[in-house]
Amino acid sequence: MDKPKTDPASGSGSKKQRSIWSLTLMAVAMFGFAFALVPLYDVFCDITGINGKTADTQAAASERVDTSREITVEFVSYINPGVQWTFEPEITQLVVNPGQTHTITYRAKNLSGQSTVGQAVPSVSPGMGARYLNKIECFCFNRQPLAGGETASLPLVFYVDPELPDDINTLTLAYTLYNAQPDAPAQTQ
């Protein structure tokens, strides 16, 4: 008995259609995953403190000071390219006891001949230390308008949480100054 012969082309149409649908579904899934990565990354960083983002809200003063421990806090500033300002801390390092409130000042000067608005964005290194550096008052909470040639003193009131892990002895607080003009091109972080 001979087996009936099948046309090889007859089954390939449904295979092609299944492949097209599979590839389309994979493309949509990859797009959705890529779209969700930014908010997922932000949530992950908020939970773990890995990327050094600090809280963007005002903290209450600490009620407990740990005088048995000293932490070195370093202050750094960066200026995004195209921003015509000087921007730097008045001191670059401070030794503190966890829980003790301190005030330092950053100085900013608009070097351009026109009014501009700056916004400082903080980050802390090591990233795990970000959740333990608490800002009671910070110029980073608001945009900073300066007229051409104007200088400003920008206060920072902070404390290091006494719950800072024992293996962290130095925190570096870095601010990057961006142009925050309403008509300025969007800056990426």
Q: How far apart are the first and last CA of the chain?
A: 74
Q: Report the pLDDT value the prediction gives residue 13, as an integer from 0 to 100.
A: 74
Specify whether the CB–CB gap between 49 and 127 falls below 8 A. Answer: yes
Residue 48, C-beta contacts closer than 8 angstroms, at least 6 positions apart? 127, 128
Q: Report the pLDDT value the prediction gives residue 80, as an integer from 0 to 100.
A: 92
H helical segments located in 49-143: none
Q: Report the pLDDT value the prediction gives residue 181, as an integer from 0 to 100.
A: 78
User: Could you read off the pLDDT tens digit of each residue along the chain, which spans 189 residues?
Assistant: 555 555 555 556 788 888 899 889 888 888 777 767 666 665 655 555 555 455 555 555 667 888 999 999 999 999 999 899 999 999 999 999 999 999 999 999 999 989 999 999 999 999 888 889 999 999 988 999 999 999 999 999 999 999 999 999 999 999 999 998 765 454 444
CA 132 to chain centre: 15
Q: Report the pLDDT value the prediction gives residue 29, as an integer from 0 to 100.
A: 83
Q: What is the dihedral of CA 84, 140, 92, 152, to 10 degrees?
A: 50
CA gap 132, 145 in Å, rounded: 29
Q: Report the pLDDT value the prediction gives residue 73, as an integer from 0 to 100.
A: 97
